[in-house]
């Protein structure tokens, strides 16, 4: 039995039974006259924690390094990240944020305080990459700051001082100190996370205790730059749940509903990883189609998880003022043998690329509430965009998905309906295809189609309503095996290639490779 999956304008998927059709063909309908929410570019955000080689070595090599750099920041990494138009970077954590003290990371490099990174491996943290270096990095890649402030071991005063140091244009002592350290103009801080996983590594707080802290931090820790606040106010993001349970969300959103003038939030975070067991045991390469299917099945649970959290948010915030911010998501596999297990180093395969596309599509369908997301993590940690080893750098399959999705940043959601049946592997049954469409600011229609089936190619015919189409072109990302990876020696195993797509009799026609992510533009 083939099923028809209907993704309606309100992002509601409905499953209906329809007659049997050939499994090798799928029919899509795209109605460009019916648009939905804007797919916020911040859905494509990144997360860079001071963890392992995520920042040190991955971004920061220091100005004296033989690795080509600009003021200590790797040039190769910067130019790769510019290509994927990173909208924001969350830093310094993660769990590390609740042990980070910003004063250790300012002032002359040779006078920085070296500390221990007790959360991640107990290694020395030289703090040579601090506030100014982070902001310089953002300028170089063209991105915005998402700062996580320390609620676990810090104080409201320490956090308020950090924000004053970064954002005050007035001649305060802290602003003068910033100027003396090389940056007279205020830094732009677009987003502020108030704690991280406060129910666990952020201090093992109850929801009530966290709420008492939230009231204090949200009130006293301010962005002091009127110019920035007038143009694009800094968004405050509260700690949210870490899975399907809605208890924490209930508590925060109920309090939000009755909040007075003296505190407010603009976002509620959600952390959820695709992982097998704890500690995570799935190998990041060297697996077969069975594990591939299980991983994709498990990642698709993100949709249901969002629905559950959104239902609670809708109850207390029907106008959707508070964004759901999925600021940690992605595949968390077992550490690569021979690496420090605390550095969370894993390989990144075609399976991770497909997993990324499925999650990005889910976020796009929830775009009215999910207005920000940050994949964990940007470089050398978990589901990374980039892997480095000293002077070597390689771009991962996940990097290429983010690159292919750039046209969807700030584009307007367009509903797609499709018939494609299921793909079954052992006891696991999955939708064979996933797809989203969007209209960009120039009126160009973009379509993404993922073929989850690792063996069968798929002929696609798509009806196009609300657009007079003449031509189509696009790229596809696939590879010989589900666990194919890019390595320093063979960096082009999983890279996008042009795909033959055409418009014929007003319909879009193309063939999808098995296990592939394809992005098409129609004009
Ligand atoms: O991304 C790794 C860790 O996972 C983060 O530090 C923490 O917030 C989460 O549990």
pTM value is: 0.95
Given a contact cutoff of 8 angstroms between Cβ atoms, the answer to whether 92 and 98 are in contact is no
pLDDT, tens digit, 9 for 90 and up, residues 3-60 = 333 333 333 333 333 333 444 789 999 999 998 999 999 999 999 999 999 999 999 9
pLDDT mean over 355-383: 98
User: Rounded to whole angstroms, how far apart are CA atoms 147 and 134?
Assistant: 10
pLDDT mean over 404-419: 96
pLDDT of residue 419: 80
User: Rounded to whole angstroms, how far apart are CA atoms 257 and 313?
Assistant: 10
pLDDT, tens digit, 9 for 90 and up, residues 334-346 = 999 999 999 999 9
Ligand 1 and 294: CB distance under 6 A: no
Average pLDDT over the chain reads: 94
Given a contact cutoff of 8 angstroms between Cβ atoms, the answer to whether 135 and 145 are in contact is yes
Share of the chain above pLDDT 70, in %: 96
Ligand 1 and 196: CB distance under 6 A: yes
User: Rounded to whole angstroms, how far apart are CA atoms 372 and 299?
Assistant: 18
pLDDT of residue 32: 94
Kindly give the residue spans of alpha helices, DSSP state H, lying in 242-323: 247-257, 289-299, 301-316
Which of 94, 345, 378 is the pocket-test mutation for ligand 1 (most atoms within 8 Å of CB)? 94
pLDDT mean over 400-416: 98
- The catalytic residue positions are 197, 328
pLDDT of residue 6: 34
pLDDT of residue 1: 29
Ligand 1 and 447: CB distance under 6 A: no
pLDDT mean over 308-315: 98
Bridge partners, residue 517, by sequence = 450, 477
Residue that the structure tokens 């989203």 belong to: 436
pLDDT mean over 218-243: 97
Nearest CA-CA partner of 385 in 128, 23, 80, 31: 80
Closest C-alpha to ligand 1, atom 4: 94
CA of 95 to the centre of ligand 1 (A): 6
Share of the chain above pLDDT 90, in %: 94
Cα→Cα distances 357→303, 310, 369, Å: 13, 21, 19
pLDDT of residue 14: 32
Q: Is 325 helix (H, G, I), strand (E, B) or coil?
A: strand
Closest C-alpha to ligand 1, atom 5: 94
pLDDT of residue 361: 98
Q: Residue 344 CA: which ligand 1 atom is closest?
A: 2
Q: Residue 200 CA: which ligand 1 atom is closest?
A: 10
CA of 146 to the centre of ligand 1 (A): 15
Does 189 score more than 90 pLDDT? yes
pLDDT of residue 479: 98
Ligand 1 and 95: CB distance under 6 A: yes
Of 302-311, 317-326, 414-423, 451-460, which range is least confident? 414-423
Ligand 1 and 376: CB distance under 6 A: yes
Ligand 1 and 328: CB distance under 6 A: yes
Cα→Cα distances 318→257, 322, 343, Å: 10, 9, 41
């Amino acid at each position: 039995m083939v099923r028809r999956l209907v993704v309606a304008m309100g992002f509601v998927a409905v499953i209906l039974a329809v007659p049997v059709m050939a499994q090798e063909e799928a029919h899509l309908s795209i109605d460009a006259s019916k648009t939905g929410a804007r797919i916020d570019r911040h859905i494509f955000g990144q997360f860079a924690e001071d963890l392992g080689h995520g920042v040190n070595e991955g971004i920061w090599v220091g100005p004296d390094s033989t690795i080509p750099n600009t003021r200590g920041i790797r040039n190769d990494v910067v130019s790769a990240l510019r290509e994927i138009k990173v909208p924001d970077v969350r830093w310094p954590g993660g769990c590390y944020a609740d042990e980070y003290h910003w004063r250790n990371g300012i002032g002359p490099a040779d006078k920085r305080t070296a500390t221990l990174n007790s959360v991640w491996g107990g290694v020395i943290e030289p703090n040579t990459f601090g506030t100014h270096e982070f902001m310089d990095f953002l300028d170089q890649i063209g991105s915005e700051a998402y700062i996580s402030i320390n609620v676990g071991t810090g104080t409201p005063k320490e956090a308020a001082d950090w924000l004053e140091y970064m954002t005050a244009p007035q001649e305060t002592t802290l602003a003068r100190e910033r100027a003396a350290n090389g940056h007279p103009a205020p830094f732009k801080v677009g987003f502020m996370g108030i704690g991280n996983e406060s129910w666990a590594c952020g201090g093992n707080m109850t929801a009530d205790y966290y709420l008492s802290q939230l009231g204090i931090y949200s009130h006293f820790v301010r962005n002091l730059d009127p110019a920035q606040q007038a143009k694009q106010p800094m968004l405050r993001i509260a700690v949210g749940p870490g899975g399907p349970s809605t208890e924490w969300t209930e508590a925060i959103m109920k309090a939000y509903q009755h909040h007075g003038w003296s505190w407010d939030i603009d976002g509620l975070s959600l952390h959820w990883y695709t992982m097998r067991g704890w500690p995570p045991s799935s190998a990041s390469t060297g697996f077969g189609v069975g594990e591939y299917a299980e991983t994709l099945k498990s990642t698709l649970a993100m949709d249901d998880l969002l629905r559950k959290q959104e239902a609670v948010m809708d109850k207390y915030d029907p106008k959707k003022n508070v964004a759901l911010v999925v600021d940690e998501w992605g595949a968390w596999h077992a550490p690569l043998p021979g690496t420090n297990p605390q550095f969370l180093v894993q390989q990144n395969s075609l399976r991770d690329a497909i997993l990324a596309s499925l999650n990005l599509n889910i976020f796009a369908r929830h775009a009215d509430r999910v207005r920000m997301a940050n994949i964990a993590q940007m470089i050398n940690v978990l589901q990374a965009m980039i892997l480095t080893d000293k002077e070597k750098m390689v771009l991962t399959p996940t990097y290429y998905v983010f690159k292919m999705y750039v046209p969807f940043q700030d584009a307007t959601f367009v509903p797609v309906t499709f018939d494609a049946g299921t793909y079954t592997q052992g006891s696991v049954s999955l939708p064979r295809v996933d797809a989203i469409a969007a209209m960009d600011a120039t009126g160009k229609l973009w379509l993404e189609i993922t073929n989850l089936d690792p063996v069968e190619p798929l002929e696609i015919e798509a009806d196009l309503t609300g657009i007079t189409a003449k031509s189509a072109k696009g790229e596809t990302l696939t590879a010989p095996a589900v666990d194919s990876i890019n390595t320093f020696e063979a960096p082009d195993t999983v890279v996008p290639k042009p795909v033959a797509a055409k418009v014929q009799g007003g319909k879009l026609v193309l063939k999808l490779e098995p296990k592939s992510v394809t992005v098409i533009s129609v004009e």
